[in-house]
Copies of this chain bind each other. A is one copy, B any other.
Amino acid sequence: MSQGLPATAAMLAIGDELLSGRTKDRNIGHLAEVLTMAGIDLKEVRIVGDEPHIIADTLNTLRRQYDYVFTSGGIGPTHDDITADAVAAAFALPIDEHPEAVALLSDHYARREMPFTEARRRMTRTPKGAALIDNPVSVAPGFRIENVFVMAGVPDVFKAMLGKVVEGLPQGRAVQSVAIPCPYGEGDIGDPLRELAKRHEGVVIGSYPKFDGKHYSTEIVLRARDDAALGEAAKDVRRMLAEMDDTKRV
């Protein structure tokens, strides 16, 4: 990543169940929040199905374009868990059982007097050279290879693995944000807000409509890494709203 600029990231969520609507993704929003707090810019998310060459091609596109890629899904013990193989194919690396993962899981199942089945052994397979990602919830690890972090799709496990991963990454300067509630609809504030946005180019100004079934209101959200610029823009927005209040009272 370039010195001084925030690191960039993409997410690749994997699974037919996300595209059929059977499972509603809950990891994208969580990753987005965590990366924002860590000062890493999430630039793009893709969801693809359980098709090995599509996973591999998409991963190759993303890992070359962004500093980090985070994947979710497809690393369990069943035949439809093909992410590790697809990642190995993307990197043109052999895949094999990772000795640390074998030790972790064989110990885990031995202590529970459960058989270490062929299916369970599948969860120890990683591309050659991968480092394991700790799974404090259900033991079977994720893995990192170069700038790609391969994690589980089950939200509790994804969350736990991501926590471990983000601890280990250099933290950027987090984007600061200010949310200003606004009693007017977007149609009322659109024109003055556009002028205001032009005066504050270093601040990203978003407006989010709310509708309570009767009336529209808006939340205006300002985002920037520069505190001073953010403060100036927020002052300007509050002044704009005060002026609108005065007009409405006339």
A binding-site residues for B, Cβ under 8 Å: 16-25, 28-36, 41-50, 76-80, 109, 114, 117-120, 122-123, 138, 154, 156, 175, 177, 186-191, 193-194, 197, 204-209, 211, 221, 223
User: What chain B residues lie within 8 Å of A49 (beta carbons)?
Assistant: 43-44
Please tell me how many copies of the chain the complex holds.
2
User: In whole angstroms, what is the CA distance A105 to B113 when docked?
Assistant: 68
Listed by A's residue number, 27 A-B pairs whose Cβ atoms lie within 8 Å are: A18-B32, A18-B45, A19-B32, A20-B32, A20-B177, A21-B29, A21-B34, A24-B28, A25-B28, A28-B47, A44-B48, A76-B190, A76-B207, A78-B186, A79-B190, A79-B193, A79-B197, A80-B206, A80-B207, A114-B187, A117-B187, A118-B191, A119-B186, A119-B189, A119-B191, A119-B193, A123-B187
Shortest Cβ distance from residue A162 to the other chain B in the assembled complex, whole angstroms = 12
Judged by DSSP, the binding face of A is mixed
User: What chain B residues lie within 8 Å of A25 (beta carbons)?
Assistant: 25, 28-29
User: In whole angstroms, what is the CA distance A214 to B17 when docked?
Assistant: 24
User: In whole angstroms, what is the CA distance A175 to B36 when docked?
Assistant: 38
Q: Assess the A120–B187 pair: CB atoms within 8 A.
A: yes
Q: Assess the A45–B19 pair: CB atoms within 8 A.
A: yes
Interchain residue pairs A-B with the least CB separation, the first 10: A119-B190, A21-B33, A21-B32, A24-B29, A45-B47, A79-B194, A77-B190, A120-B187, A78-B207, A19-B42
